Chains A and B, each alone.
Chain A
Amino acid sequence: MSSTVQTTGRTWKKPPFIANPVLRWGLLIAVVGYVWWAVTSLPFDWERIQDGVPRAIRIFKGAFPPSFIRGELLFDGFMESIKIAIVSTLLGLALSIPIAFASASNIAPKWLYTIGRGFIIVARSFHPVIVAILFVKAVGFGPLAGILTLTIYSIGFVAKMLAERIEEIDWGQVEAVRAAGAPTFVTLLYAVIPQIMPRQIGLSIYQLDSNLRASAIVGIVGAGGIGSTLLNAFGRYDYDFALAITLCIIGVILVSEAISGRIRRNLW
């Protein structure tokens, strides 16, 4: 097939992502300017950074092969992390139910709703490590600070999700129970709880998994568990032990993720 096309002289350019040229160039200049400014204004310590390569080599040499000699310490650290995760999940779940009710706009009065939501927002805004430092200061080093931290962490997530679920419940069922003359508490028990239960179970398994992950890091600021073991290893330049711990953390997280994913798939 052949067909000669007369040239029309029409050109074509891809229409720009942002039509307004002032806005487009302005945005581009702003982005480039920002990146430039951000990179130059950050306090990089170039001399120290130049030491990085030999140090990296030294650390890698020190880390291989990973050392499992102090297996007992490793095991104890993990057990403590698991215990922290279990206890805090349970506490967090228990506490998040009332807080979720308080934060559900269709159930709680306005003043209570404001308090509930406020609590959730604060709990979610702080990284667990920050919460952990405060608890370490208040109740001392050790797993108790970890438990309290992860309880707050659990509430931030579970109460939020649960409150959203409560806001979506089917009011027909609530009215049916109420029409039968049930008092408020019974209404909650029979009409609301059954509706939110499946979500709650899914959330709790998810949260147990999250808490296990988080428990590995809150230890870094002194809140017990494997994180503390890891920090000590780093502090004493025991890089081979640190590598062993890190590998174990990865392994445990992968296993826990697989199990939790599987259970949740079966539930739904």
Chain B
Amino acid sequence: MLRIKELVKRYGEEKAVLKNLNLEVPGESVVSIIGASGAGKSTLLRCINRLVEPSSGSIELNGTELTKLEGKALRLARRRIGMVFQGFNLIDRLTVMENVQSGRLGYLPAWRAVTRNYPQEDIDRAFHLMERVGIAHYANKRADELSGGERQRVGVVRALMQEPEILLADEPTASLDPKTSRQIMELLRALASELHLPVLINIHNVNEAKEYTQRIVGMRFGRIIFDGEPTDLNNDAMDEIYAGVPAEERGGAESSTHLREVAAR
């Protein structure tokens, strides 16, 4: 259970990017967060694993208050939170296996990390997950030799190697072509249900949000202004979330494929 209360984030002296935001994500749900670019979606996700320092408010994950943690305690908390990035954020010059195992760095003793002497159970787990997403045969390839979709699969497996209690995905498909993008979304949905894992996905594409998730949260100017099931997301709600954003940039329901290029910018 993730519980966010009165979360405020302000970068420097600017006006707040997140304004007293409240959100609860119970148990095993897959939630997508939509909103115009600049609405504060990434900031929200990054506050949860503290890549961004929240200014005030509280974030609680399964009973642990995350906002006050420092040092070792913060690292221990972070390893319970998996994250998948828009740009994959892999280490290009390392092999796929090393990238995958880097998800275990929060658990691994330093000497094992340095010598790449990974415990057998981690290796088993890595192969299991890589087989599940179809990249096991790439274990010894360098990460920069893979295609975009394959790289994102590595990113997903890395996050799952953490045995996370929640998975955050910040526009995981925005750098991918339409077909691959759907495959990754499908994968995230399937893994969430197989592993009983709550997932929070920032997403630009409303179609995908509706298709692959059970709950949609709409953000605008640092506030949540919509929270409901995909069927509740009617044109009025869309207009409210995206007011002032040209129709073709909304990645909207009736839209055609060229929107994705806009989303991928």
Contact = CB atoms under 8 A, between A and B. Distances in A.
A50 interface: no
B159 to A, nearest CB: 12
Interface stretch (B15-23, B83-91, B120-128): B120-128
B98 A14 contact: yes
B127 A8 contact: yes
Instruction: Determine the main DSSP class of A at the interface with B.
Output: loop
B208 to A, nearest CB: 24
B95 interface: yes
A15 B97 CA distance: 10
B95 A10 contact: no
B139 A12 contact: yes
Contact of A1 (B98, B127, B128, B164): B164
Contacts of A5: 121, 124-125, 128
Contacts of A14: 95, 97-98, 116
B221 interface: no
A11 interface: yes
B54 to A, nearest CB: 25
Contacts of B116: 13-14
A13 to B, nearest CB: 8
Contact of B127 (A2, A3, A10): A10
Given A12-B139, A14-B95, A1 B124 contact: no
Interface bracket on B = 20 to 34
A20 interface: no
Interface string B64-108: 000000000000000000000000000000010110000000000
Interface in B189-226: 194-197
A184 interface: no
B183 interface: no
A5 B97 CA distance: 17
Nearest to A3: B195
Interface of B (DSSP majority class): helix
Contacts of A12: 97, 118, 123, 126-127, 139
A11 B121 CA distance: 10
A11 B124 CA distance: 8
B128 A8 contact: yes
A10 B195 contact: no
A1 B195 contact: yes
A41 interface: no
A15 B95 contact: yes
A7 B95 contact: no
Given A1-B165, A1-B196, A1-B197, A10 B140 contact: no
B53 interface: no
B123 A11 contact: yes
Nearest to B192: A1
A5 B161 CA distance: 12
Contacts of A1: 163-165, 195-197
Given A5-B128, A15-B95, A10 B196 contact: no
Contacts of A7: 120-121, 124
Interface of A: 1-3, 5-8, 10-15
By Cβ-Cβ distance, the 8 closest A-B pairs, closest first, are A14-B116, A5-B128, A12-B123, A5-B125, A15-B140, A1-B195, A1-B197, A7-B124
17 contacts: A1-B164, A1-B195, A3-B194, A6-B128, A8-B124, A8-B128, A10-B124, A10-B127, A11-B123, A12-B118, A12-B126, A12-B127, A12-B139, A13-B116, A14-B97, A14-B98, A14-B116
